[in-house]
Structure 1
Amino acid sequence: MRRTAAALACTASLALLASACTGSSEGGATDDASKETTITFWHGWSQPSEVKAIDDNIKAFEKAHPNIHVKVVKNVTDDKINQALRAGGDNAPDVVSSFTTDNVGKFCASGVWADLKPFLDKSGIEVSATFPIAMAQYTEFNGTRCALPLLADAYGLYYNKDAFKAAGITAPPKTLSEFSEVAKKLTKATGDGYSQLGFMPDFHGYESTPTHFLGQWGATYFDKDGKSNLASDPSVTAMFEWQRKLVSELGGFQKLEKYRTGFGDEFSEKNPFETGQVAMAIDGEWRIANLKADGVKFDWATAPFPVPDDQLKTYGRGYQTGTIIGIAQTSRKQNASWELVKYLATDTDAVVGFANAIHNVPSTFEALKSPAIDPDPNFRTFLDIAANPYSSTTPASINGGAYQVSLQNFGYSYESGKVSDLKAGLAGVDKEIDAAVAQAK
């Protein structure tokens, strides 16, 4: 299931807690993982199929480690995890997971999640050889790796094959100029609306956010000194200019926004791609399960989302995020906890089984290549995106995803015409982000 909205929703509340998230020095890696022990694992999954999948992996772990017993607590939020870790004590978890990669900066910098480098070194696990680049990036902050990937989400293109055929389009576009032409060709205007829209480019559209689009350019967001570099990064300017031009070519912001108000819930059979209201969409691998479950009446397929014309060699890339797992700094059983983290995050059978069960992308190179992974070619599109070395993510920040919220709010103003000077506007966002980061420090 998609976690991005939930991640952004809790970013603001966690920002208020950042200065208090100092963790406790009571924990440590002095326990003997070969002795009989019980550890507690908190996770956020709540759907029956998800809970069963994680429970199955826990049972397999306990079978392989009969001396380590795992007490599992489901449906736990980041807020609750941070409160427990600050408080410490016997009721705090030993192993923690989060859907919010945006908070890795706070988890690592504040010390509430333990540094995993000593455990990785002891186990001989080389991060760059085990996890795809983007996943390795969103699990560390300023040289501290306090998390590992535990499945991932990758973004690509969904397209209506019947609509393509009717319009005489034989293949999905690879460059953004091709994409814009295809989007226009697939658009059928009717009065002040549409009977079919090629693509919804508005930033309020489902998944069509600035950060998801910028994944096709590989934007860096911050310079080597940690300063926001949106105004000086040509890829950011190029993305906004491309998006606003497409908005204009498809009928203009007001017309598109009026049409968007008729969209159903994103995670229902009334999703605009499923109803045929839009012929193309940017979305994650989880949409495949929705499309199959809802029994859409048209033929559809997936492909990587197009890339800038001058970056054709990077075609196949996409934006990535995912679930993360780590060890509570307060845990007195960190060696036993590491055994569970290592198993869930790096054991190929565990990663593949979990990915197949909940329809997420596997998070290790070996799992991505496994013959046991879901063979559906539409799903494998996202495996290739995940493995693509050009795929990227949004970097960790000490105040979470606040900088993404600032950029997204600017996007709303720019696309609607409230901001006319793009460079000046982005410079203003840079100042806002830098001030917020300085305050968080």
Structure 2
Amino acid sequence: MPRWRLPTCASAALAAAGLLLSGCANPSVGSANDDPTKPVTLKFWHGWAAPGEVEAVNASIERFERLHPHIEVESTGNVTDATINQALRAGGDKAPDVVSSFTTNNVGQYCDSGMWVDLDPFLRKTGIDKREVFPKTLLDYTSYQGNQCALPLLADAYGMYYNKDAFKEAGIERPPRTMSEFKRAAKKLTVRSGKDSYERVGYMPNFRLYQGSPDRLFAQWGPRYFDADGHARLAEEPATYDFLKTSRQLADAQGGFDDLEKFRLTFGDEMSNQNAFLTGKLAMHLDGEWRGLMLDEAKADFDWGVAPLPVPDDQKDTYGRGFITGTVAGIAHSSKHQNAAWELVKFLTTNTNQVVDFANDIHNVPSTYAALKSPRLDADPRFRTFFRILESKHSKALPPSTNGGAYVVSLQDFSYSFEAGHVSDLRAGLRKLDDQIDADTLQSKS
């Protein structure tokens, strides 16, 4: 299932809650002096909630307990980051020992505050070289300023689903690879049903659509959000201008933002059988690897494929890249059983068979090199497209920040205004956006 793009209000609330972390965490409360061979009960909190996902988590725990019969794991699902943060600030016997999060944006806060313990000492004492186990992009979003306070627990890679039947009808032989090809294909695939309505659009560039948050597509440019000193530099980044202008050109090629927005409002819920790609209203669609399983379960009545998203014309050599995120796991600073907790984190994140089984069960991308090469993985070539996107050296994740996802929310809000035509001076608007991000970062450190 997807790592949800949080609505602005929820993101802002979590970001605001995150501002409390720097002053409230007490890393000295817990202990790494426990004997992991002694009987113990660990509390594991996670965010999975769908019945199939919970079943897969429980199966993972059963496999762990068979290997470690002296360690019992009490699993609690459907837990939000806000709830975890409150529990870790409070500490005590009711707080979790092992935690996981879908929100990689908050890793900077977890590491900087000490709320999640640094895992490098545990990796070293068990002889695990993290650079040989995990792809670099995943290590980037699980650490902050040298503190590896989390490890990847499966990943999400974003690519482009496309309707092969619509492509054949339009005479398009293969998925577009550059932004120029993307615009031409989108226009050719668009079918009007009247002056201001559609039967189908080639690609919906609207930033409010499903997983279409601007940071997803922006990753195709390989942008740098911050400079070496941590200051926002979107106004200085040439890719920002090209990205926003390209998104507008995609809209204009298919009738313009107003008509597309009106059509978007007719779409069904993202996770239902009324999803716009499933119902044929979209010929190309940005989404994550989980969508394929949902299309199969819904018995889509058209032939579909998966390809990497197109890249800028002047970066053709980066084709195959995509946006990367995923679930992360760590050890609570307040846990008095940190060595036993490490045994669970180590099993969930580095045991090849476990990572493969879990990836197959919930249709997420494996997060270790060894698991990605396992013959036991789901052999569907469409699913495996996301493996190649994950392994691309050009793929990008969002950089961690001490203010969590606040800077992503700011980018979303600005992008909404831009696409609707409410930004008259793009350069001035981006400078103001940088100032806002820097002010939010400064506040989070005060």
Q: If the TM-score is normalised by the length of the shorter chain, which range does it land in?
A: over 0.9
Report the residue type matching 1:273 in the other structure: F
The aligned residue for residue 70 of structure 1 is 73
Distance change in 2, residues 1:9/1:43 (3 Å): farther
Asked if the contact 1:99–1:323 (Cα under 8 Å) also holds between the matched residues in 2, the reply is yes
Aligned ranges 1:389-428 → 2 under 5 Å: 389-428=393-432
Asked if the contact 2:19–2:403 (Cα under 8 Å) also holds between the matched residues in 1, the reply is no
The aligned residue for residue 333 of structure 1 is 337
Q: Distance in 1 between matches of 2:20 and 2:67?
A: 38
Report the residue type matching 2:291 in the other structure: R
1:183-209 deviation per Cα after TM superposition (whole angstroms, max 9, x unaligned): 111111232111211110111222222
Q: Distance in 2 between matches of 1:326 and 1:207?
A: 26
| In the alignment, structure 1 residue 374 sits paired with structure 2 residue 378 | yes
SS in 2 for 1:298: coil
The aligned residue for residue 13 of structure 1 is 13
TM-score by length of 1: 0.98
| In the alignment, structure 1 residue 168 sits paired with structure 2 residue 171 | yes
Q: Shift of the alpha carbon at 1:169?
A: 0.8
Asked if the contact 1:175–1:308 (Cα under 8 Å) also holds between the matched residues in 2, the reply is yes
Q: Shift of the alpha carbon at 1:236?
A: 1.1
Asked if the contact 1:11–1:103 (Cα under 8 Å) also holds between the matched residues in 2, the reply is no
SS in 2 for 1:426: helix
The aligned residue for residue 123 of structure 2 is 120
Q: Shift of the alpha carbon at 1:290?
A: 1.1
SS in 2 for 1:145: coil
Q: Distance in 1 between matches of 2:77 and 2:210?
A: 28
| In the alignment, structure 1 residue 3 sits paired with structure 2 residue 3 | yes
Structure 1 residue runs of 5 or longer lacking an equivalent are none
Q: Distance in 2 between matches of 1:20 and 1:403?
A: 17
Asked if the contact 2:178–2:310 (Cα under 8 Å) also holds between the matched residues in 1, the reply is yes
1:90-148 deviation per Cα after TM superposition (whole angstroms, max 9, x unaligned): 11111001111111111111111111111111122222221112211110111111100
Coordinate RMSD, CA, aligned: 1.2
The counterpart of 2:358, out of the listed 354, 359, 371, is: 354
The aligned residue for residue 317 of structure 2 is 313
Q: Distance in 1 between matches of 2:204 and 2:128?
A: 43
Asked if the contact 1:7–1:102 (Cα under 8 Å) also holds between the matched residues in 2, the reply is no
The aligned residue for residue 434 of structure 1 is 438
Structure 2 residue runs of 5 or longer lacking an equivalent are none
The aligned residue for residue 292 of structure 1 is 296
The aligned residue for residue 141 of structure 1 is 144
Report the residue type matching 1:285 in the other structure: E
1:379-438 deviation per Cα after TM superposition (whole angstroms, max 9, x unaligned): 001011111111111111111111011111111111111112211111110000000000
Q: Distance in 1 between matches of 2:410 and 2:145?
A: 22
The counterpart of 1:227, out of the listed 226, 231, 234, is: 231
Report the residue type matching 1:23 in the other structure: A
Q: Distance in 2 between matches of 1:7 and 1:108?
A: 24
The counterpart of 2:287, out of the listed 275, 283, 290, is: 283
Q: Distance in 2 between matches of 1:411 and 1:73?
A: 37
Q: Shift of the alpha carbon at 1:250?
A: 1.1
In the alignment of these two chains, the number of paired residues is: 441
SS in 2 for 1:275: coil
Report the residue type matching 2:318 in the other structure: T
Identity of aligned residues (%): 54
Aligned ranges 1:159-308 → 2 under 5 Å: 159-190=162-193, 191-308=195-312
Moved more, 202-211 or 269-278: 202-211
Q: Shift of the alpha carbon at 1:7?
A: 8.1
The aligned residue for residue 41 of structure 2 is 38
Q: Distance in 1 between matches of 2:5 and 2:170?
A: 34
Q: Shift of the alpha carbon at 1:165?
A: 0.5
SS in 2 for 1:391: coil
Moved more, 349-358 or 127-136: 127-136
Report the residue type matching 2:158 in the other structure: Y
Q: Shift of the alpha carbon at 1:269?
A: 1.0
SS in 1 for 2:220: coil
The counterpart of 2:25, out of the listed 8, 23, 26, is: 23
Asked if the contact 2:309–2:320 (Cα under 8 Å) also holds between the matched residues in 1, the reply is yes
Q: Distance in 2 between matches of 1:181 and 1:96?
A: 46
The aligned residue for residue 107 of structure 1 is 110
Report the residue type matching 1:407 in the other structure: L
Q: Distance in 1 between matches of 2:61 and 2:256?
A: 52
Q: Distance in 1 between matches of 2:413 and 2:148?
A: 30
Q: Distance in 1 between matches of 2:129 and 2:244?
A: 37
Distance change in 2, residues 1:398/1:54 (3 Å): same
1:230-254 deviation per Cα after TM superposition (whole angstroms, max 9, x unaligned): 0111111110011111111211111
1:36-63 deviation per Cα after TM superposition (whole angstroms, max 9, x unaligned): 2221111111111111111111111111
1:239-297 deviation per Cα after TM superposition (whole angstroms, max 9, x unaligned): 00111111112111111111111111111111111111110001000100111111111
The aligned residue for residue 155 of structure 2 is 152
Q: Distance in 2 between matches of 1:38 and 1:205?
A: 43
SS in 2 for 1:159: strand
Distance change in 2, residues 1:9/1:108 (3 Å): farther
| In the alignment, structure 1 residue 89 sits paired with structure 2 residue 100 | no
SS in 1 for 2:353: helix
Q: Distance in 2 between matches of 1:230 and 1:424?
A: 11
Q: Distance in 2 between matches of 1:426 and 1:199?
A: 26
Q: Distance in 1 between matches of 2:337 and 2:61?
A: 17
Asked if the contact 2:5–2:211 (Cα under 8 Å) also holds between the matched residues in 1, the reply is no
Asked if the contact 2:12–2:409 (Cα under 8 Å) also holds between the matched residues in 1, the reply is no
